[in-house]
Amino acid sequence: MHIMEGFLPPAHALGWAAVSLPFLAWGLRSIGRDLQAHPERRMLLGVAAAFAFLLSALKLPSVTGSCSHPTGVGLGAALFGPAAMVPVGFVVLLFQALLMAHGGLTTLGANVFSMAIVGPFVSYGVLRAVAALGLSRSVAVFLAASIGDLATYVTTSVQLALAFPAAVGGFSVSFFKFAGIFALTQVPIAISEGLLTVLVVNAMVRF
Amino acid sequence: MLIESSAYASRWRDVAPSAKALFALAGFIAAWLAHSPVAFAALTAVLVLAALLGARVQLRSYIAVALPPLGFLLLSCLTMLVGPDANGHWNFTTAMLPTVEHLALRSFAMLAAMLGLVLTTPMPDLLNLLRRLRTPELLLDLMVLCYRMLFVMQQAWDESITAQSARLGYRNLRQAWRSTGLLAGQMAVQVWQRAAALQMAADARAYQGTLRFLPTAYPQARRQQAWAALAGALMLAIALGDRL
Amino acid sequence: MSALLELQAVDHIYPDGSTGLRDCTLTLQRGRRYALLGPNGAGKTTVLQHLNGLLQPTAGTLCYDGQPFDYHRKGLTALRSRVGLVFQNPDRQLFSALVEEDVSFGPLNLGLPADEVRARVAAALDAVGLLGHARRAVHQLSFGQKKRVCIAGVLAMEPEVLLLDEPMAGLDAPMQTELTALLDRLAARGVTILLSTHDIDFALRWADDIHVMAAGRCIASGPAQQLAAQTAVLQAAGQRPPAALALHAELVALGVLPEGQVPRSIDALLDSLRALKNSREITA
Amino acid sequence: MSALLELQAVDHIYPDGSTGLRDCTLTLQRGRRYALLGPNGAGKTTVLQHLNGLLQPTAGTLCYDGQPFDYHRKGLTALRSRVGLVFQNPDRQLFSALVEEDVSFGPLNLGLPADEVRARVAAALDAVGLLGHARRAVHQLSFGQKKRVCIAGVLAMEPEVLLLDEPMAGLDAPMQTELTALLDRLAARGVTILLSTHDIDFALRWADDIHVMAAGRCIASGPAQQLAAQTAVLQAAGQRPPAALALHAELVALGVLPEGQVPRSIDALLDSLRALKNSREITA
C-alpha cells in the first residue's frame, strides 16, 4: 500500500525522508564495498530491481479479485541481504511513482521506510528466526515474505495515523481505522506474496 | 505502460527536463503553502491544463493514470471521516472534515504536479536530470539497468504467459498459481543469466566500472527554464496570496 | 467435407491500435502440411495465435470442424487440446527444471490421471527422439534439443493440428534436417501441420500447400508447386521466386531440361541433372 | 606482413569443465571479409569472445599485429577499442533506454571528450541508417533496428576489426539484404570483418575467406570459393556443399556452362545462365 502523492503534510514527508536517507546511504555503502570484490553485482542488482518491479506490477490470481501487488522485497532480502534491498527497493518505489503513479515523490521517504527498510528487515529477521527453529524451508519462506508484507502495511498505517490522528481518540483510533480498512486488501496480498515466494524459491532451488 | 507511452508522445518531450522539473517543484511547494479551496483549484487548474493543453497529453490517458491514486484518496478520506463520537459510538463525524478537505485538495494539486512531469518526460530524461543533480553513481546505474531490463523482462514475461496459456496453464485458479510460480521461478533464475550477459556485453565495449552515457544536449534549456520559473512564480504567488 | 480449421474474414486490431490482421481468410484441410509464408510483420504469428484461441478476432469468425470457436473456458480447453502451438523461442516456453516435467505441463492441465500423463510424456519424448533425456535438466540441452522439448510438450496433449512458429529459425543444417524428418513422421501419423516461415525455398520443399501472407492478409493459397510459380503474388509478399524454380525455368529455356516436372528443391534439381548426366553417359 | 589478429594453438576449457576450443589456430589479415563457418556448438562464439579479450585462453596465444594480447586493464581497453564485438541477441547487450545514449557508452569508456563522442555517435548512427532514431527508446524499435543499434554502439568506438556473432539470425530476407549492404560499406572503408554463421550459402556469397570450425577447432581456412569446393572438409563440419557450387559442377559436367568461373551464389549462377541464353539468342 503506497501513500499517494501529496497525502502527507510537509513536516511528515520531509521527516520520513530524513529517517530513510541514512538507511539508503548505508545500503549504498554496503553494496559499494561488495562491488569491489564482485564487480558483476552491479548488473545483478540492476536486473533484480527490474524483476522486483515486474513482480510488483503483476496482477496475481487472487481470491478477492483485487489486483494484488506483491513487493518482492522479501525474496530479495533472502537472496541479497536486507542492506542491498534498501537501494533496490528505493529504485523500485521511485519507478512505481514515476511509471505508474503508484506512490509519489513527496511521499517517497515514507514509502521507502515502510517498504524498503521495515519490510526487508522484518523478512530477513523472520527468515533467520524460523531457520534457527529448524522449520522447513517452505514454512520459513512463507512466513518471512508474508510477515514482511504485513509489517510494511502496519508501518504505513502508523505513518498515516501519525499524520492524521483522529479528532476523538487521537493516534490509536486513527491507527485502528487505517489498519482495519487496509487489512481488506493487504492481508490477502500478504498471503499471496508468501505463497508466490514459496513457489518461486522452490522453482529456483530446482534449477 | 501508459505514462511511459504518453511521455514519449508528448509535445514537451524535447523540452529540457530541468525546466519541467522546476515547474513541477514549484507546483509541489505552492500546494504545500496554499490554504483556500480557491487557491488549490487555481493551482490544480494551471497544472492540469499545462499538461493537457500545453503538452497535449490525451485526456483519456490522464484520467486513466490518475484513477488509482484517486481511489486511494477516496478510501483514505472516507476512513478519516468515520470514527467514534464523544460517546464512543462509531459514526460519520464531521470533526475531521476540514482536515480531509484540505488534504484532498492538496493531494489533487500535487498529483497534478507529478503527472505533469512524468506524462511529458520519459524516464531516461529524468535519469539524466538526476545525474546532473549528482545522484550517487551506483544508484543511477541501478536505475538505468532497471529501466532497460524492465521492458526486456516484461516482454519475456508476456510471451511466457501466452505460451503457458496455449498449454492450458491458466484453466483454473490452482493451475494459474502453479503456472505463475513456475514462471516467476524461471525468470528469477534468468536474472543471473541476464546480468552475466550484460556484464560481458559491457566488457566488450571497454567497460570501466560505471555505466556512463552522454547526456542529451538541450540548446534551449535556459529559455525553457526561464519560462518554467515564470510559471512557477505564478503558482507560488497564487499560494502566497492565499496566506496574506 | 468441411475444412478442419478456418479463418473467415478475420480482422485483428491490437490494444495499442496497430493492425494485426485485416480481412484474413484461410482454410486448413485435415491431414495436410501447410506453410504460412510471409515477411516479418505480415501477421503470421497473429494467425497462429488466433488458431489456438490465444487471440480473439476483432471482426470475422474462426471455425473448427465447421463450428465457430467457443471462447468460454471449456471451449478454449477443448480447442487447445486439439490445436497445439509451438512458439519460436524455446526459452519463453520451457519453465520447468527437468525435461519430463515440462512435457507433462500440458497433459496435467488437461486434468488427465497420472498414469495417462506418464504414458503421454514418454510417447511424446519418444516421438521427438529425446526419451533418453527425460530426466535431464532443460538448461543443459542444446538449442535444437530445447526446440524438440517444446514440440514434445505440445505433442503430449495429442493435438490433431500442430502449429509451429518459425520452427527452423536458429537451427543449423543438420538440426533442420532432423526437425524436418520429425515433422514428416508426425504428418505421416495424420497430424495436420501448419508452420510459419519466411523462407520460400523451405516452404516449396516441404509443404503440400502454401498460404501467402502480406500486410495482415492471406493474399494467396494453393498447392506449393503451383503457388511458388506465381511471381506476381510472391512479389506482393516481398518474396523472391524460389531458387529451384528460377533455375529450372532457365534450364528449360536453354533446352537442358525438359518442361513439365517442376523440382521442389535444389536437391531435386540436382537429381534431375545427375539423372540426365547418367542417361547421356549410358547413351554415349 | 604479419597478420592483424591471430589465434595460435588456443585451448579453452570453461569453468564447468566443458571444452570450448581445442588447439584452434586461425589468422585474420587486415581489410578482408571473413566468415567463421560451423554448426551450433562448434566454438564460433568462443573464438569471437577470445578475439575481443572477453575470454582468456587456457593454453595457446592470441596476437594483435604480431604482439601477444595484454590482459591487463589498459591492454584490454586498447584491444577492445580496436576489435569490436557485436553479440547475437540485442536484448542482452543494450543497457541504456535511449538509442543515442547506448551508442555513446563505448566511446565514453575510451575516455574521449564529449564533443568527440557526440560526433562519433552521430557518425555511427548515420552509418547504420538510424540517425533519425537517436532519441527513440530502444524498446520501441524493431528487432532489426535493435541489431543495428548494437552495431552502431561498436562502430562508435571506431574499431579496425568488427566481429559479429550470427548477425543474420532472426532477420528476414529484406533485413538481411540491408545488413549485408551495411557490412559491405564498412568493408569498403577498410574495416576488417569476421562474422560467424552456420549458413554456407551465405558464407560463400559474402566472404573473401572462410574459416571452418568443427568441435572447437578451425579445421580449414582459405578463400571462400576454393574452400567451398572442398567437400570432405565441409562434411567434417556438418555442412552440405553450397547449392551454387553443386549446381555449377553438374552444369559443367553436362557441358552447359564452361569450366573456370565458379559462381558465388545462386543469383550469380542464374546470371550466367541468362547471359548464355541471351548470347544464343543473338547468335540465332
Give the pLDDT of residue A1.
72
φ and ψ of C170, to 5 deg? 80, -5
pLDDT at C239 exceeding the cut of 70: yes
Q: Does B174 touch chain C (CB under 8 A)?
A: no
d(CA C241, CA C238) in angstroms, rounded, equals 10
The pLDDT tens digits for B129-151 are 999 999 999 999 999 999 999 99
Count of A–B CB contacts within 8 Å? 225
Note the ipTM here. 0.90
pLDDT at A65 exceeding the cut of 50: no
Output A61-67 pairs: Cβ under 8 A, ≥24 positions apart: A61/B170, A61/B173, A61/B176, A61/B177, A61/B180, A62/A188, A62/A189, A62/A192, A63/A188, A63/B173, A64/A184, A64/A185, A64/A188, A66/A185, A66/A188, A66/A189
Q: Which residues of B touch C91 (CB under 8 A)?
A: 156
If one compares B85 and A114, the residue with the highest pLDDT of the two is: A114
Sheet holding D217-223, edge to edge: D83-86, D161-164, D192-197, D33-37, D209-214, D217-223
Average per-residue pLDDT in chain D? 92
φ and ψ of D71, to 5 deg? -90, 10
Contact B166 C92 (CB under 8 A): no
Whose CA is closest to A116, among A83, A145, A147? A83
Whose CA is closest to A71, among A49, A98, A87? A49
**A128-132, B114-118, C103-107 — which is least confidently predicted?**
A128-132
Give the pLDDT of residue B24.
96
Give the pLDDT of residue A62.
45
Q: Considering Cα of D252, then D255, then D260, then D263, what sign does the dihedral take?
A: negative
The pLDDT tens digits for B179-195 are 988 998 899 888 999 99
The pLDDT tens digits for B65-84 are 999 899 889 988 888 888 77
pLDDT at B165 exceeding the cut of 80: yes
CA of B194: how far to CAs of A48, A167, D14, in Å? 10, 53, 19
C-alpha cell read off for B118: 512524468
Q: Which residues of D touch B194 (CB under 8 A)?
A: 92
Nearest residue of D to residue C276, measured between CA atoms: D254
The pLDDT tens digits for D203-221 are 999 999 999 999 999 999 9
Bridge-based pairing of strands C192-197 and C209-214 is unpaired
**Of D198, D266, D276, Cβ closest to residue C247:** D266
Neighbours of chain B (3+ CB pairs under 8 A): A, C, D
Instruction: Calculate how close chain A gets to B238, using CA atoms only, in Å.
Output: 18
Whose CA is closest to D237, among D186, D271, D200, D190? D200
Enumerate residues 179 to 208 of chain B having a beta carbon within 8 A of any beta carbon in chain D.
Answer: 194, 197-198, 200-208
- In chain C the beta strands, taken as DSSP E runs, fall at 5-13, 19-28, 33-37, 59-64, 67-68, 83-86, 161-165, 192-197, 209-214, 217-223
Give the pLDDT of residue D103.
96
d(CA D263, CA C52) in angstroms, rounded, equals 45
Q: Does A43 touch chain B (CB under 8 A)?
A: yes
φ and ψ of D165, to 5 deg? -95, 110
Average per-residue pLDDT in chain A? 87
Contact D172 C40 (CB under 8 A): yes
Nearest residue of C to residue D198, measured between CA atoms: C172
d(CA B235, CA A175) in angstroms, rounded, equals 35
d(CA D65, CA A119) in angstroms, rounded, equals 57
Whose CA is closest to B214, among D23, A199, D156? D156
d(CA A196, CA C211) in angstroms, rounded, equals 43
Q: Does C97 touch chain A (CB under 8 A)?
A: yes
Percent of chain D at pLDDT exceeding 90? 71
Within its chain, how far is the Cα of B31 from the centroid? 17
CA of A29: how far to CAs of A24, A36, A113, in Å? 9, 11, 18
> Which letter, b or e, does each residue of C36-49 get, where b requires 16 or more Cβ atoms within 10 Å of its Cβ?
bbbbbbbbbbbbbb
DSSP B94-113: STTHHHHHHHHHHHHHHHHH
Average pLDDT over residues A117-145: 90
Give the pLDDT of residue A70.
56
Average pLDDT over residues B86-114: 87
- In 3-state terms, what secondary structure has residue D80? helix
Q: Which residues of C touch D243 (CB under 8 A)?
A: 243, 266
Count of C–D CB contacts within 8 Å? 80
pLDDT at A61 exceeding the cut of 80: no
Total H helices, total E strands in chain A: 8, 0
Q: Which residues of B touch A42 (CB under 8 A)?
A: 138, 141-142, 145
Give the pLDDT of residue D211.
96
Highest mean pLDDT of the ranges A74-83, C24-33, C256-265:
C24-33
The pLDDT tens digits for D143-198 are 999 999 999 999 999 999 999 999 998 888 888 888 999 999 999 999 999 999 99
Count of A–C CB contacts within 8 Å? 7
d(CA B142, CA B140) in angstroms, rounded, equals 5
- Interface with C, mutate which of A199, A200, A202, A207 (most C CBs under 10 A): A207
Percent of chain D at pLDDT exceeding 70? 99
Q: Which residues of A touch C98 (CB under 8 A)?
A: 206
Q: List CB contacts of D113: < 8 A, sequence separation 6 or more.
A: none
d(CA A99, CA A54) in angstroms, rounded, equals 12
pLDDT at C146 exceeding the cut of 90: yes
- In 3-state terms, what secondary structure has residue C253? helix
- pLDDT band for C1, please (50, 70, 90 cuts): low
- Interface with D, mutate which of B141, B147, B214 (most D CBs under 10 A): B214
If one compares D12 and D170, the residue with the highest pLDDT of the two is: D12
Give the pLDDT of residue D11.
96
**A53-57, B33-37, D158-162 — which is least confidently predicted?**
A53-57
Contact D95 B144 (CB under 8 A): yes
The pLDDT tens digits for D233-254 are 988 888 888 889 999 999 998 8
DSSP C61-96: EEEETTEEP--SHHHHHHHHHHEEEE-S-GGGT--S
CA atoms within 13 A on the CB side of A71: 37
Cβ atoms of B47 and B105 within 8 Å: the answer is no
Place of cell 519507478: A95
- Look up the CATH number of domain D5-230: 3.40.50.300
Percent of chain B at pLDDT exceeding 70? 99
d(CA A46, CA B153) in angstroms, rounded, equals 12
CA of B108: how far to CAs of A31, B29, B191, in Å? 38, 13, 38
Give the pLDDT of residue D1.
56
**Of B123, B197, B212, Cβ closest to residue D92:** B197
Q: List CB contacts of A113: < 8 A, sequence separation 6 or more.
A: A16, A19, A20, A23, A155, A159
- pLDDT band for A63, please (50, 70, 90 cuts): very low
The pLDDT tens digits for C186-201 are 999 999 999 999 889 9
What residue ranges of chain D are covered by domains with CATH 3.40.50.300? 5-230
Structural fold of domain C5-239: Rossmann fold (3.40.50)
Q: Which amino acid is at B18?
A: S
d(CA B201, CA B207) in angstroms, rounded, equals 9
Residue C179 neighbours by CB distance under 10 Å: 20
Residue B241 neighbours by CB distance under 10 Å: 15
Nearest residue of D to residue C171, measured between CA atoms: D40
Average per-residue pLDDT in chain B? 91
Give the pLDDT of residue D237.
86
d(CA D131, CA D151) in angstroms, rounded, equals 13
Contact C172 D251 (CB under 8 A): no
Bridge-based pairing of strands D5-13 and D59-64 is antiparallel
C-alpha cell read off for C2: 468441411
- pLDDT band for A66, please (50, 70, 90 cuts): very low
- pLDDT band for A69, please (50, 70, 90 cuts): low
Return the domain boundaries, chain B.
2-122+218-243, 129-204
Q: Does B171 touch chain C (CB under 8 A)?
A: yes
Whose CA is closest to B220, among B12, B28, B54? B12
Give the pLDDT of residue B93.
77
Q: Considering Cα of B140, then B143, then B147, then B150, what sign does the dihedral take?
A: positive
Q: Which amino acid is at B162?
A: T
pLDDT at A168 exceeding the cut of 90: no
C-alpha cell read off for C17: 491500435
DSSP state of B136: -
The pLDDT tens digits for D88-147 are 999 999 989 899 999 999 999 999 999 999 999 999 999 999 999 999 999 999 899 999
The pLDDT tens digits for D37-84 are 998 889 999 999 999 999 999 999 999 999 999 999 999 999 999 999
Whose CA is closest to D5, among D183, D211, D143? D211
C-alpha cell read off for B65: 493514470
- pLDDT band for C284, please (50, 70, 90 cuts): low
Total H helices, total E strands in chain D: 11, 10
Determine the longest span between alpha carbons in chain D, in angstroms: 71
Q: Which amino acid is at B79?
A: T
Q: Which residues of C touch D (CB under 8 A)?
A: 39-41, 142-144, 169-175, 198, 238-240, 243, 246-247, 250-251, 253-254, 256, 266, 269-270, 273-274, 276-277, 280
Cβ atoms of D264 and D226 within 8 Å: the answer is no
d(CA D252, CA D229) in angstroms, rounded, equals 14
Within its chain, how far is the Cα of C3 from the centroid? 17
- pLDDT band for A64, please (50, 70, 90 cuts): very low
Give the pLDDT of residue D278.
86
> SS3 breakdown of chain A: % helix, strand, coil, rounded to 5?
80, 0, 20
Q: Which CATH number is correct for A10-202, 3.40.50.1170, 1.10.1760.20, 3.40.50.970, 1.10.390.10? A: 1.10.1760.20
Place of cell 516449396: C204
Residue D202 neighbours by CB distance under 10 Å: 19
Contact C52 B166 (CB under 8 A): yes
